[in-house]
Every structure is written in C-alpha cells, then in structure tokens.
Copies of this chain bind each other. A is one copy, B any other.
Amino acid sequence: MKEGAINIGLIGLGTVGSGTFELLQRNSDLIRRRAGCGINIRRIAVRQKDKPRSVDVAPDLLTEDAWEIVNDPAVEVVVEVMGGVEPARALLLSAIEQGKSVVTANKELLAKHGAQLMDAAREKRVDVNFEGSVAGGIPLITPLKQSLAANRIERVTGILNGTTNYILTRMAREGLDFDEALREAQQKGFAESDPSSDVDGHDAAYKLAIVSAIAFGSRIPVEEIFREGISRIRIQDIRYAAELGYVIKLLAIAQSESEGFELRVHPTLLPVEHPLASVSDEFNAIMVEGDGVGRVMFYGKGAGAGPTGSAVVADIIDTARNILHGATGRIPCTCDQSLPLRRYEDVKSMFYFRMLVADRPGVLARIAGILGEEGVSIASMIQKGEQGRLAEVVWITHRARQKAVDRSIQRIQETDIVPQITNVIHVTE
C-alpha cells in the first residue's frame, strides 16, 4: 500500500473548481483520515492568472497552461472542472493515456464522448470518476454503480435541471409568466445569460444520457434523446394542471419495457402526490426503480460550489483509495450494449391538451369523436373562461401512442371548430 499524499492537478477554478478547492482546504484533516492519505493540490490551471478570485490561492500554484498539469509526471489525478468539450476531451484523453486517473464534472463531454474516455480508461486500468456531472452533490453515480448494482433498472425519472425547476416553481407560486421567471432566475444567478442549454433541455439530456448508460448498461447516443424545453409552458397551463391535481416539471425519463427502450426530456404533468412533485426551487431529485429495491429516491441541490465540490472531492477521495490499494479501474464501464431506442412516435403516454374551440353545440362531441377514432381515449375534460365566441377547453387523455396523438391533432386542426391548439404536454402517473 502506497503511503503519504496523492498529487492532484485541478483544471478550472470557476464555481465548481473553487468549491472543490475550498472543501479540500477546509476539511483536509477529515479527508486525510477518510482517504487514507493526504490530497495535495500540485497545480491549478486557469484561463487568466491575475483575475481576482473568491478563494485564497497561492499565486505560484496557478498556471495558464492546462497541459502543464496533464504532462507533469508527479500529478497522479487530473481533476477537470473547466467544462465544454474541447480542450477538456484532449486533456483528459492524454492524461488517461499517460496512466493517470481522472475526475470530471463535465456532463457535456461525458454525454458526447464518454465512450471514448471509458474505453481508454479500461485499457489503462485507471479511474474515470464523474459524480459531479449529474445532480451536483446528490449521491447518484456511486449509488447506481455500487449500491443498486444487484438490480435490473426498470425506470429512471429525474428533475435534473435546477434552473428550469426554479423557473417552474416561481411561475406556480407567484403567478409569474415564463419570461419574468426566467429574468428573475438570471438575476439570482440560477440561469445563464444565454439560458438555452437549461431552458431547452440540453443540460437535462446530457445528464440523462450519463445516468441511463450506467443504469441500463448501454451506449446512449445523446442526440437521439427526445428533447423539449419549457419555454412553451404558460401560467395558464400551470393553473389548469393544479386544478386537475397535477404540477408541471421538466422530467428526464429513461425506461426499459418489453416494447423497447425510451429516453426523453420534456415538461410533464405529475400528480401532486408523486414523490417528485414536491421537489421545488433549484433542487434536483431522481427516482430509480429496480426489480429488487423497488422505488428509491435521491434529493438535494443539483448545482453550486458546495454541492458540486462535494461530489468532485468525493471522487478524488475514492480515486486516492484506489491508487493506495493499486486498484484503479476497480469499477470499469460496463455500458457495452447498444439498446435500440424506441422511436418517439411509438412512445405511449398520457397527454394534456389545451385548445380554443368555437363555443357552440356539437363542437366538443366532434373533437371527442376524432380522438376516439384515432384510439385516444379521454380521462377528463374541463371547459374554462370564454374569449368572445371561443371557449378554452382542457383535456387529459388516457395512455395513447404519440403517433395517434399527432394524427388526432392534425385532424382537429383541419376542422374549422378549433382555431388554436395552444399546448400539448405529457402527463405521467
């Protein structure tokens, strides 16, 4: 067993990097005891050395050249918290090829190029740890790889993006419309100035790809995940959903059924009594369903310096333990299958429709008739406030195939009785 301290190099000193640095400093005694050795930060790569920083770093630790870290023979673990695909991919691949273990919180890199990194790591028998890439500080990757390893995973359902959850919560609680809630999230630092990665569901799709690969043991082509963001959700939808006993959340869903394998990210009406329904503000939560364990749920903060730093440092400790015991590569990637994805049009779901219809006798019967002909059966319907000679109607359907729903909508739009189908949203039980 190796003794002393493990040398690490940190690439990136933004929010996550600072959180990582701070925890390593503040809890160094406790970390030494748990890891079995000290963790020594040998070098930190930053974009600009002389920038003012929130953490107190000795200036001679800093470099503007990340390759200095990767190529330093004394660095045993490369910790990448810079984000983005390049140069992170090239840096980590080189580190792995030099026999170093790596820790990363880079969801985009893993979702797009995880397989390449994992193959290289398996070859070199080093660790690639990435607890911080999904759901911040919430233990999820390690529980999936270890504590739930006895289970055939049937379904993963998650609120994996804090920004959109914050926006939806503010809309529901304060009656804000989407644009107002987004602006507020930006002011509070919960949303970026370009919010599209969060709002359009890219961020959640990256995380779903990472989690599903482990849960289902399959390569996941992230670009094939069905993805729809929250910008079409209106305050009216949230209010009607509430009347019907639902909340609206941006859910990431992966499930394996006899009919195929499904991956999707979209706004969803969730019954208020569902364990994920009460997950509010910027919090994240993930429900995992396995054939042995049943339903388990993990809840906490999905972002921020402290939470994500907690995950990154945990990975560093675990890697250090493996280095001490000569056991890096202890849990290799086993995502070797290529499960065929069910085509989106074949996915079955319940649906919510909101539409403006002509306010005259026979109209609802005609719509219901079209739905029935397409095999879409109605679970409930409410008719709301009139707008001139139009009425607003909300329907909830039973489970139906996406294809049948699309066809119904097209046929309804071709009539002259429904000037506008305002929204169509998935519903889950």
The listed residue (B148, B299, B304, B325) touching A310 by CB distance below 8 A is B148
A361 at the interface (CB under 8 A from B): no
Q: List the number of copies, as a whole number.
A: 2
Known: A150-B314, A298-B298, A314-B148. A293 touches B325 (CB 8 A): no
Q: Within 8 Å of chain B (Cβ to Cβ): is A152?
A: yes
User: Whole-angstrom distance from the CB of A403 to the nearest CB of chain B?
Assistant: 32
Is the pair B23, A292 in contact by a Cβ cutoff of 8 Å?
Answer: yes
Does A49 count as interface, using CB distance less than 8 angstroms?
no
B296 touching A33 by the CB < 8 A rule?
Answer: no
List residues of chain A with CB under 8 Å of any chain B CB: 19, 23-24, 26-27, 30-31, 33-36, 131, 137-139, 141-143, 145-152, 217, 275, 278, 290-301, 304, 306-307, 309-311, 313-314, 316-318, 321-322, 325-327, 329-332, 334
Is the contact region of chain A dominated by helix, strand, or loop, or is it mixed?
mixed
Pairwise interchain contact A295-B291, C-beta atoms closer than 8 A: no
The 8 closest A-B pairs by CB, nearest first: A139-B147, A150-B313, A296-B300, A327-B327, A137-B293, A292-B310, A139-B143, A293-B310
Contact A310 B151 (CB under 8 A): yes
**Nearest opposing residue in chain B for A309, CB measure:** B292
Closest to A27 in B: B152
Closest to A277 in B: B278
Given contacts A30-B217, A147-B311, A334-B33, contact A296 B327 (CB under 8 A): no
- A298 CB to closest chain B CB (Å) equals 6
Give the Cβ gap from A152 to chain B, nearest Cβ, in Å: 6
Known: A34-B149, A275-B278. 12 other contacts (CB 8 A): A30-B217, A146-B314, A147-B314, A148-B310, A149-B314, A150-B313, A150-B317, A292-B307, A293-B306, A293-B310, A296-B301, A330-B330
